[in-house]
Amino acid sequence: MAGIIVRVISLLHLSFVLSSILGETVHNDKCAPCVCFSSNETSGLYSVNCASNPTLNGQIPVFKHISEKQIVKLDMSNNNLQNLTRQTKTPFANFSNLQDLNLFNTSINWKMNNTATIDSETFFGLSTTQVLNISHNVDLPLTNTTNEYVFNHLKSLKKLVTYQTTFIYHINTSYPSNIWRNIHSLEEIWIDGFTLEPFSEDFRHMSNLKSIVMTGVFITPSEEYPDYCDMKQITDNTLANLVHVSNLSIVHCGLLSISKNAFKTMVKLIQLDLSQNYELTIEKAAISFTSLPHGIQSLYLDSVQTTNSLGCDINITKTMAASLTNTSLKFLSLDDNRIHSVELEAIFKLPKSLEHLRLRRNKFELGFYIFYAYQLTNLKKIDISYNFFGHEFNLWRHTNSRSTSFNDPNLLMTNEEIVKSDAKLDNFDCPKPQKFIPTISVTGFLPPRLERIDISHSKIGYPIYDFYIDTNNSLRYFFGAYSLLYCWAGPVHGVENVEEVDLSNNFCSIVKTDFFKSMPRVKRLYLQRNNLFYAVENKKLFHSNFEIEIINLSVNRISRLHPLLFANQTKMKKINLANNNLIAFDNRISHMKSLELLDMSNNHMYTLTKELRSDLDNIASTRKNGSLTLNLRKNVIACSCENLEVLEWILDRIKPSNNLLAVNISECYFTPNRSSSLPNATLIHSKNDLQFQVNYLQNFCASYTALIVVLVVIIFLSINIIVGGLVHRFRWKIRYWYYVSMNKRNGYMSLNNTSEHDIYLVYDEHVQEFVLDTLKPKLNEVHYEVFTYNDIKSGCSINDAVINAIHDSKVVVFVVSKLCNNDPEWECAVEMTEIESVKRGHSIGIVIFYNSGCTQNLPKSLRSLSQDSFIDYPEHSSIEEIDAFWKDFQLKINKIESFEDKQL
């Protein structure tokens, strides 16, 4: 941790450069070889950064274009200033307005090779300086032997930073109270720490000194911190003269013990930091807390237990908590201490004034003590992030009238028992453990003023079930990111005042529709990095959340959104859907009049719907100030003729633009590339890049307009010809199925007095006498129901009659004479008979040649019938031949009827 903080400090030394980047006026040419900038040009005052500059030749540079009087802040850190006073004994004499001087790690010294870099005249001229940093100069020890007048010219000095200057071999020379006793303005000092004589009585007269910091955190290399900060112990007298100090930090300083009355005289102490004294332990530190003044407000005890070796976990005991009972403590930090539980009585002993409790990076397990947290009546914030929560379900075996709704001594129930006792639990989607707590059995009681809970990074690994929190709470912020809360069933009752919820990075894939229903006032929802694609596609998750202003659904593998997902969000300001699988955004957002950002970067969007563009324009048109941003970076926006209108729309709104709607785009794809396995993006770095692509597409697409029109006409004609040919070829089948379907819909009409007959006779006028006088009577004699065209009722069309007759007959008999012709009715009957035969799976037609001469003139429409379907009528023959004809004719009829019977 120390190394990290050192790097942070080093970055802070570059603040001048960073400030210039962030918008302040840079004047590199005015103070070369340094960098300077001014926050207000009219004032003529500058901050100068000469840090880590090898061209300084060991002294303060001479500025050609600005005077020393114009410099209010000077950073000379990380240079070798051994020549600082060689040119003049008063190098800062002209810096009359300098307020902040940084000489960190500059090799300055009191005496080296009989030459002193720093003496009583070095800081002459710095009467306005308020901050001086001379730390990390190992040859600049501050002890009682140091020149006591060295800082006398710093009449306005408020903060003096001197860590890593006084090596441990100076331990016997004590703290240099004679150095700063005359700096009456001094408010804060940073010094190295040792187990020495007590702070001298001179400190009783330093009424403005409020803060003392002794820390080994910033010592580099970090393993050398014991050489500069090694307190070991604090006795009753060590701090006795710090009567005016309100802020004391002894951090990472090897502290091992503190006496019982160590803080007795520090009556103005408000903040105490004893962090990173790894062998101090909470138990030994607590011995001294009974001497803390009542007015102390903040106590830091981070990393006072050894955590990098084997050892027992810590239990916060009643005794530890009781040591703070008589204080007005508001903030308590116990980070990184291997704490796993808290004694029940300890919660009652903690001061009621406590407002902020920080317990990060511990090893907490679920315990019955959580039911007593409500005793901390003024607690507003609790941070137990980066913890491990075990599943100690035995805690549910205990009972408490304050925290449970009934007095059953055994609240453990199996899944089967729960289903029987409460049918409402049947609909849970989340898996339940072998032992599960009924949702109505336990009510959680939060501290009544608690506003913020942080359990993020805690590896809880448990679903969020339907449970109850007492409504007498003030909870507004809940942070549960990175806690493996993988299933959200809920709802969590009693959180009506919550405004911000962070459930990101929980690998959640199951969310019940009403999970967020109990949070009607939620304004900010952070749900990124889960697997919510199914839930947001199929459920109206936020139908009861009318106050949402910010929602983050990025990195959730979302391919589409439920059409009504955002239907009720009229106050929405920011929607983050980045890094998903969206192809299109079809949701209407015109009602989001306050929308500021719609982020759909890193998706698969290739175009924008007309509705989305219209909604965005309508929202922007209602604004007088404040832009609306649509982020489409890293999408597969199509550079094609079909998408030209969208690209033109984007071009009008890409920066620089006067439009209040700003669209960000980084690339587009020509259609062949977008669909290929290795697409090549056309990068869009500026508005000019997109303008070039739009101009190209406008020319390209216009040149193909005439060709496209001709091709469309040709394709249209070709389709008509093909369709016409197919209709002509299959005209009879089409006509047949049309009439059959129409008759099925309307009911088959009766052709005569009956709708059932066996044989339909088809003939022309040349054989009418034979059919009506001979053929029909003969068939009637053998009990066949016969139907002819003459039996058709008046008013029935020929096509309807023929189709109905064929469809309703078992056999169709064609009587052909030598004078027959291919009239329309005849052709219709033949075609329909063939189609009906195909439908039934066997031939239903028989052809009778009334005279032998007609075979040569057989109509084309009858030639498709099979050979077995033809029979000659023996005109002018003997009785035996006629009898043979009738037998053969009846056999053919029976053969067709047998097929019909088999199908039935």
Confidence band of 413 (pLDDT split at 50, 70, 90): very low
Q: What is the mean pLDDT of residues 734-739?
A: 70
**pLDDT for res 852:** 55
pLDDT more than 70, % of the chain = 81
Confidence band of 393 (pLDDT split at 50, 70, 90): very low
Higher pLDDT, 111 or 866: 111
Q: Closest Cα to residue 179, out of 224, 209, 219?
A: 209
Q: Name every residue whose Cβ is closer than 8 Å to that of residue 512 and which is 6 or more positions away in sequence.
A: 429, 488, 489, 490, 491
Q: At what angle do helices 824-840 and 731-746 cross, to 10 degrees?
A: 80
* 668-682, 693-707, 865-879: the lowest-pLDDT one: 668-682
* 65-69, 660-664, 715-719: the lowest-pLDDT one: 715-719
Amino acid at 519: M
Q: What is the mean pLDDT of residues 399-409?
A: 34
pLDDT tens readout for residues 250-260 = 999 999 999 99
**DSSP annotation string for 516-554:** TTT-TT--EEE--SS--HHHHHH--TTTT-TT--EEE--
CB 466 within 8 A of CB 440: no
**pLDDT for res 349:** 93
**pLDDT for res 286:** 95
Confidence band of 760 (pLDDT split at 50, 70, 90): confident
**pLDDT for res 515:** 93
Q: List the end-to-end C-alpha distance of the chain, in Å, as a whole number.
A: 91
pLDDT above 60 (res 67): yes
Bridge partner list, 786: 759
Q: What's the token pair of residue 290?
A: 């009974």
* 19-23, 301-305, 562-566, 586-590: the lowest-pLDDT one: 19-23
* 222-231, 273-282, 647-656: the lowest-pLDDT one: 222-231
**pLDDT for res 656:** 87
Check the CA dihedral 478-484-485-487 and report its sign.
positive
pLDDT tens readout for residues 717-729 = 888 888 877 776 6
Q: What is the mean pLDDT of residues 140-158?
A: 88
pLDDT tens readout for residues 534-543 = 999 999 999 9
Alpha-carbon distance 740 to 747, whole Å?
10
**pLDDT for res 267:** 95
**pLDDT for res 402:** 34
**pLDDT for res 824:** 63
Alpha-carbon distance 736 to 203, whole Å?
116
Bridge partner list, 477: 452, 500
Q: CA 230: distance to chain centroid? A: 47
**pLDDT for res 624:** 81
pLDDT above 60 (res 793): no
Q: Closest Cα to residue 814, out of 843, 792, 793, 780?
A: 843
**DSSP annotation string for 595-635:** --EEE--SS------HHHHHHHHHHHHT-SSS-EEEE-TTS
pLDDT tens readout for residues 266-290 = 999 999 999 999 999 999 999 999 9
Confidence band of 4 (pLDDT split at 50, 70, 90): very low
Q: What is the mean pLDDT of residues 815-843?
A: 74
Alpha-carbon distance 670 to 83, whole Å?
65
Q: What is the mean pLDDT of residues 592-619?
A: 95
Mean pLDDT, rounded, of the chain: 82
pLDDT above 50 (res 418): no
Q: Closest Cα to residue 498, out of 487, 510, 490?
A: 490
**pLDDT for res 647:** 95
**pLDDT for res 420:** 38
Q: What is the mean pLDDT of residues 777-802?
A: 75
Confidence band of 731 (pLDDT split at 50, 70, 90): low
pLDDT tens readout for residues 776-786 = 888 888 878 88
- On whether the pTM is more than 0.85, the answer is no
CB 150 within 8 A of CB 179: yes
Q: What's the token pair of residue 763?
A: 């003939």
* 378-387, 459-468, 528-537, 867-876: the lowest-pLDDT one: 867-876
Q: What secondary structure letter does DSSP report for 484?
A: -
Of all residues in the chain, what percent are helix, strand and coil, respectively (each to 5)?
A: 30, 15, 55
CB 240 within 8 A of CB 277: no
**pLDDT for res 246:** 97
Q: Cβ-count burial of 897 within 10 angstroms (0-12 exposed, 13-18 middle, 19+ buried)? A: middle
**pLDDT for res 395:** 37
Higher pLDDT, 736 or 324: 324
How many CA atoms are closer than 13 Å to the CA of 432, on its beta-carbon side?
A: 21
pLDDT tens readout for residues 841-890 = 777 888 888 775 555 555 555 666 666 678 888 877 788 888 888 888 88
CB 553 within 8 A of CB 532: yes
Q: What's the token pair of residue 45?
A: 């005052």
Query: Beta strand 661-664 with 500-502: parallel, antiparallel or unpaired?
Result: unpaired
Residues listed for the chain: 904
Alpha-carbon distance 534 to 310, whole Å?
45
**pLDDT for res 473:** 92
- Helix ranges (H only) for 30-180 are 177-180
* 45-59, 608-622, 816-830: the lowest-pLDDT one: 816-830
**pLDDT for res 199:** 86
